[in-house]
């Protein structure tokens, strides 16, 4: 008797997978530990402390929902008061601490319990600071801020605990200290880094104050928003080219697309958790030559199939075991896994915020649920895109021009393979030849290809493409002055200190050769005439993080760079004025530059 296997609907499998990872994450959130009750969101010295001067240390913290901590004056000696302590060099003297206003509650009102003063929700502390006349902080000098507390809810009290962070003592002229203040200006794990978009911190705030349902919904919407960034360009091309060669019913194409997105989500979330738990650089797998060559090889194989050189299909034993109606799912899943690696450089404020949340929680299950949800938001539009591409074969008279379209998709896949090989080939050769490659493909498909000539409307359309390609090639070959590009010097700590001593603003671009948004900024933002003109008054430095060596590890660790591009603007006083993660367009960059003195 032949054994039959029942295949469950893929929609059920996807929903079950998402539910499983979410349920696995729940214990991590409800197993509250004493050290997790209070979160320090930021700790800043405003204004920067100078020799013989005064300033204020401002600390923002949050008590997680449904819990409270005793105030600094809890009405009774039986309760352990909350205490904020500041430690640092003897040349810095902290003054009397200003605690947040307390709330009075009654323990077990029905039994006439004691009244107690507590802190809950968002808290703000202020500490006056006085610097001695000989105050001269060096790189690494910092204040340590500690909050000692005991947390309770309506049913129990946990053991006394503490949470702490550090703040760099940045002074004018100490540029290195100012840069370190980017990380210390907000407690590690705050989701904020000395300026820039606070989308990551907003996500954490939603989880803390509005619960899991709205939190995961916000993450999902953040994933949708990633589709507005340049990092998704390769995903669009691969999706159209891959599914344009897939035939079958409407339902089959939809299932293939869902499996494709599932592969993206699994790989993307695995990369996110690995980076968050290891403190690495998000998307760094794209700098590995073996990964890039493997991706290019797969794309070239798919291109060869589009040109009719061979037919890609699973082994016969796999077809017999899975059923003739279901070939292609394994290929769609594997392609999705590969595109999950490609999507990993999609860094932005929300991704950075999630990385910090996972690092702080220490739970890989919670991290997987977060990044899986984010990746589903990123991938949902590709289900519709894949279905649209997959129905090309069913269009009227498709038999007359389908081979031409398949060849077009094949050329697109070859172009994407060249694009991924660019970091492997010296001098950005692939990036330079891609425009000429595209023009050549347009000329071939417009005038030389024999496919699709019998249907006059289609012949006119492909001829128009050929004309556009010829015009584009002529435009590229016509001798003209290249647009002025913004020039950067290699990052150097001494040059950074010298710039601050000379009271010059500084622009630092943390980038990598494999970073798609970085390339887009090179070809759009950093050649914009207004940006180039405004940036000339800045000392401009580029920290290239492509090589995974000791120097890169030191830079990413010292400045807490978790993704590229990261753009830093430092004003003439040595204070970090802006820090943004992700692609910045010309107009936004111009506005940021204009606001820095």
pLDDT digits (tens, 9 = 90+) for 219-247: 999 889 888 887 788 888 888 888 887 76
Which whole number is the average pLDDT over 22-42? 64
* Range among 188-197, 201-210, 351-360, 500-509 with highest mean pLDDT value: 500-509
| Domains with residue ranges and CATH for the chain | 34-212 (2.60.40.1250), 213-477 (no CATH), 489-594 (3.40.30.10)
Mean pLDDT value of segment 318-341: 68
CA-CA distance, 91 to 106, in Å (whole number)? 43
As a whole number of angstroms, the distance between CA 191 and CA 41 comes to 8
pLDDT at 535 exceeding the cut of 70: yes
Please give the residue that has the higher pLDDT: either 453 or 58.
58
Segment 426-445 shows an average pLDDT of: 91
User: Which of 13-22, 60-69, 103-112, 345-354 is the least confident region?
Assistant: 13-22
User: pTM for the whole thing?
Assistant: 0.58
Please state, in angstroms and rounded to a whole number, the distance separating the CA atoms of residues 394 and 387: 12
Q: Which of 278-287, 400-409, 483-492 has the lowest mean pLDDT?
A: 278-287
**332-383 pLDDT, tens digit each:** 888 888 888 888 777 777 887 788 788 777 788 888 999 999 999 999 999 9
Percent of the chain with pLDDT over 70: 83
Residue 98: its pLDDT value, please?
Answer: 94
Per the CB < 8 A criterion, the answer to whether 589 and 517 are in contact is no
CA-CA distances (angstroms) from residue 575 to 91, 149, 196, 208? 21, 33, 14, 31
**Per-residue pLDDT tens digits for 83-92:** 999 988 888 8
- Paired strand residues for 166: 144
Q: Which residue has the tokens 């004025």?
A: 577
Distances (CA, A) of 232 to 262, 396, 404, 536, 583: 16, 31, 26, 31, 12
Give, as one character, the DSSP assignment of residue 35: G
Q: Of 140-154, 174-188, 420-434, give the lowest mean pLDDT range.
A: 174-188
pLDDT single digits (tens) 392-410: 766 665 666 788 988 998 9
Poorest-pLDDT segment among 95-99, 320-324, 370-374, 380-384: 320-324
Q: Is the pLDDT of residue 487 over 50?
A: yes
The pLDDT value recorded for residue 435 is 93
pLDDT digits (tens, 9 = 90+) for 8-29: 344 444 444 444 444 444 443 3
Give me the chain's average pLDDT, please. 80
Pairing of strands 489-490, 539-544: parallel
Supply the pLDDT for residue 140: 67
Instruction: Compute how many other C-beta atoms are within 10 angstroms of the C-beta atom of residue 145.
Output: 25
pLDDT in tens, 564-576: 889 999 988 888 8
């Amino acid at each position: 008797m032949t054994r039959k296997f029942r295949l469950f609907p893929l929609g059920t499998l996807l929903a079950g997978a998402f539910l499983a990872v979410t349920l696995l994450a729940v214990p991590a959130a409800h197993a509250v530990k004493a050290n997790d009750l209070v979160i320090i969101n930021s700790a800043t010295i405003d204004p920067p402390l100078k020799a013989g001067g005064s300033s204020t240390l401002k600390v923002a913290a949050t008590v997680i929902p449904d819990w409270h901590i005793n105030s600094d004056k809890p009405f009774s000696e039986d309760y352990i008061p909350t205490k904020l302590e500041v430690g640092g060099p003897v040349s810095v003297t902290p003054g009397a601490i200003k605690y947040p206003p307390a709330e009075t509650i009654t323990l077990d009102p029905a039994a006439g319990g004691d009244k107690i003063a507590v802190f809950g929700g968002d808290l703000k502390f202020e500490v006056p600071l006085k610097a001695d006349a000989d105050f001269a902080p060096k790189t690494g000098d910092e204040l340590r801020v500690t909050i000692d507390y005991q947390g309770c809810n309506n049913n129990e009290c946990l053991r006394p605990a503490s949470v702490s962070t550090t703040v760099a003592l940045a002074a004018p002229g100490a540029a290195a200290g100012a840069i370190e203040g980017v990380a210390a200006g907000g407690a590690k794990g705050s989701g904020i880094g000395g300026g820039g978009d606070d989308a990551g911190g907003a996500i954490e705030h939603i989880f803390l104050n509005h619960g899991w349902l709205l939190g995961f919904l916000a993450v999902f919407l953040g994933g949708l928003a990633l589709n507005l960034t340049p990092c998704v360009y390769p995903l669009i091309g691969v999706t159209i080219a891959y599914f344009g060669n897939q035939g079958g019913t409407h339902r089959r194409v939809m299932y293939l697309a869902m499996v494709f997105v599932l592969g993206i989500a699994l790989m993307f979330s695995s990369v996110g958790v690995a980076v968050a738990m290891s403190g690495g650089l998000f998307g760094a797998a794209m700098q590995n030559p073996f990964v890039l060559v493997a991706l290019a090889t797969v794309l070239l194989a798919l291109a060869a199939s589009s040109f009719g050189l061979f037919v890609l299909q699973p082994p016969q034993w796999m077809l017999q075991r899975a059923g003739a109606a279901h070939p292609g799912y394994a290929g769609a899943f594997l392609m999705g896994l590969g595109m999950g690696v490609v999507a990993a450089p999609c860094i932005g404020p929300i991704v950075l915020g999630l990385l910090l949340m996972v690092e702080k929680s220490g739970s890989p299950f919670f991290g997987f649920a977060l990044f899986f949800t984010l990746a589903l938001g990123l991938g949902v539009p590709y289900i519709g895109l894949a279905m649209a591409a997959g129905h090309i074969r069913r269009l009227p008279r498709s038999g007359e021009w389908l081979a031409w379209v398949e060849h077009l998709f094949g050329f697109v896949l070859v172009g994407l393979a060249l694009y991924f090989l660019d970091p492997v080939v010296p001098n950005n050769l692939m990036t330079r030849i891609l425009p000429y490659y595209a023009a050549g493909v347009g000329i071939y498909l417009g005038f030389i290809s024999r496919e699709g000539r019998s249907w006059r409307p289609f012949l006119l359309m492909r001829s128009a493409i050929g004309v556009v390609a010829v015009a584009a090639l002529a435009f590229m070959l016509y001798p003209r002055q290249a647009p002025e590009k913004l020039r950067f010097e290699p990052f150097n700590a001494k040059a950074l200190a010298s710039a601050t001593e000379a009271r010059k603003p500084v622009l630092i671009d943390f980038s990598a050769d494999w970073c798609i948004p970085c390339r887009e900024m090179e070809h759009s933002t950093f050649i914009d005439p207004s940006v180039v003109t405004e940036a000339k008054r800045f000392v401009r430095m580029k920290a290239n993080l492509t090589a995974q060596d000791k120097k890169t590890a030191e830079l990413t660790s010292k400045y807490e760079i978790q993704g590229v591009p990261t753009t830093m603007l430092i004003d003439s006083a040595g204070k970090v004025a802006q820090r943004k993660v992700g692609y910045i367009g010309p107009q936004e960059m111009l506005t940021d530059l204009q606001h820095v003195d």
